[in-house]
Amino acid sequence: MIGAVDKERLLAIERALELDDPPDPGRRARLLALKALELAWDPDLERRRALVAEAISMARGTGEARTLAEVLRLVDEPMRVPSMVEMRRSLADEFLRCAAELGDPALEYWAHEYDYLVSVDEGNFERAKLALGRTLLIVHELDQPTMRWTTAFEQAGWKLICGDLAAGEQLARRAFQLGREAGAPDAFFPYGTQLAFVRCYQGRAGEIVEAVREGVDAYPGVPSHRAGVPWILCAAGRRDEARALLDKVAREDLERMTRLPESLTGLVLYAEVAVETASSSAASTPYALLEPWAEQFVGSAIGGYGHVRMWLGLLAAVMGEHEQADDHLAFACEFHETNGVWVWAARGHLGWAEALAARGDGKSAREHAARALELSREHGYGLFEPRAAAIVEAESTAEA
């Protein structure tokens, strides 16, 4: 299950390693990679990194492209943390070369899927689109159930990253059906997460508060899911509840979160609660944890939450660091606009407008609010529209 270590399976892998005597390098490399994968949600990142390094070194030592490719396929999830993006890019490129050399379409599919995930994290959207397009071509060729499901929910995630809520919801429903047909035990995880995203930014968060709570109960080992409860409470206008919950879960989750998959997602959800509750004390910790990854995009296989610099800008504004806030938000708004990431362009402009209005720069606040309002009306971001409209109206009245 996502977010958990299957102890029985881990013991079986460890027993297989013990029995591999004398060791066969190819077999042992695969077993070590499987062990790292099984430990993907264990907070001991150094242990995972050591297993991945040993598996890759052993696979390279065999001189067999297939062994190396199969190991590389297994080791992305254990390394899917912000500190490993450069390493993952190098491994993704190596995987692409191995798969092309072998001419195996199944391995090429997983190599392009790996490339897609890394490209999103890097904020390289042109490369991400190309990689996702290649996975689609191979899926049509192979018609393999797990690949159909994986590509379907990643298509949905891509639409949601870009802010097309209607298309994202439609694709998410299709992916859920494909996942059930493929017998995927966690088919509901991406669907439920994607549906919550859609309802939140449509301005319908109040409809799904309890469903988000149930999702946390179903996947207790995923800190980003735990962060979703105060996030959805804020979106539903229940800020006092969100702040109280933030204080409790942040102490338990924030420090260990950067060592787990989906860590940036969890951090920015906590950041959003700190921003929405205007808590400068709560803003300082996620700011410090996000700052080293300022050049990354907050992405995953099932969606994304904008450029890290947008969140740094919003947090800096709450902390009263106006120059830093303006610098980060200027970059983020331009990045989102240039790449057609409309939901996060709207969020960035709205947050900047609110920060500017709070410090008395009404003219600039109205400009950014007007852009947020335009995007919200065009794309159906009901969460942002009334707030942007209120600033436009207030500042227009003040200037009259």
Length of the chain: 400
pLDDT band at 247 (very low <50, low <70, confident <90, very high): confident
Residues 224 and 266 sit within 8 Å (Cβ to Cβ):
yes
356: CB partners within 8 A, 6+ apart:
362, 364, 365, 368
Query: pLDDT band at 115, cuts 50/70/90?
Result: very high
Reduced to 3 states (helix: H, G, I; strand: E, B; else coil), residue 304 is strand
Domain spans in the chain, listed from the N-terminal domain onward:
144-202
CA–CA separation, 259 vs 80, rounded Å? 9
> Interhelix angle for 308-318 vs 263-276, to 10°?
30
Nearest to 269 by CA among 254, 259, 279: 254
Strand stretches in the chain, DSSP E: 297-300, 303-307
Mean pLDDT of 184-201: 93
pLDDT at 222: 75
* Sequence-ordered list of residues with C-beta below 8 angstroms from that of 350, at least 6 positions apart, any chain: 368, 369, 372, 376, 384, 387, 388
**Residues 138-160: pLDDT tens digits?**
999 999 999 999 999 999 999 99
Taking the C-alpha atoms of residue 54 and residue 52, their distance in angstroms, rounded to an integer, is 5
Share above pLDDT 90 across residues of the chain, in percent, rounded to a whole number:
82
Distance between CA 116 and CA 118 in Å, rounded? 6
CA distances from 322 to 259, 267, 304 (A): 30, 21, 26
Q: Is the pLDDT of residue 107 over 80?
A: yes
Q: Where are the beta strands (DSSP E) in 102-146?
A: none
Predicted local distance difference test score (pLDDT) of residue 140: 95
299 three-class SS: strand
For residue 203, the model assigns a pLDDT of: 97
